[in-house]
Amino acid sequence: MNSYDLRNRTAVITGAASGMGAATAELLAASGARVVLLSRRRDRLGELAAQITSAGGAALALPVDITDPEQVTAAAARVPDADLVINSAGVMLPNPITDGRSDEWARMIDTNLTGALHVIRAFLPGVRAAAAAGRPADLVNISSIAAHVTFPAYAVYSATKAALTQLSTSLRTELGAEMVRVTNIEPGLTDTELGGHIDNTEIAGQLDGMFQLLPALRAEDIADLIGYVVSRPRHVNLRQLVALPTPQA
């Protein structure tokens, strides 16, 4: 695992209980950052925080549902000095649009887009204060290649990720002049728990077939990209990264 110099930084990571969020928390902590772990999964957060602490890092576990703005605001009040925010929480529930699964639509929109907005609003004051003080300040959003590559049955998921990508682009116009960096990362096929919630056996089988055909990225690969991005000199903003398994077109 690579390591970067992130001493004296405080990183808030959503979706930290598993996948890219957990891998990112471990890498940033190993690089010297204090990590604040946000997720609904209390038990897993506690385990990860203990693991990071036993390895010599600093971690704070905050069980939070990012779709609840009051919970997010309360978490931000406990960590007013965060200078690095990573929106890693996400849910992928593909089904044909004609199935009319409005419950899944709401869950994806609430988590992938609205939840990210709650986190940005709550933690942005600390990020802006860090930038004003001349320190590195970062907002990193984890989108997906589904933001611009279409897949049957993934219309609503793709729409939420396209919105997150566009949000990142627009936020640069608001925050760049303040020296707040905004980075949007779009992973391709990545081996995480994301596909484990699919209840359509045909679609789940198609995804499994992709994993058999392609050497998928690992959550640690995306964590490594994040570590690299946020450790650059503060005048360097890697604004958009697309990361794919080498054979994925």
Residues catalogued as catalytic: 157
Whether 157 contacts 94, CB under 8 Å: yes
Distance CA 197, CA 151 (A): 17
Q: Give the Cβ contact number of residue 95 at 10 Å.
A: 19
C-alpha angle 149-154-155 in degrees, rounded to nearest 5: 85
Whether 191 contacts 238, CB under 8 Å: no
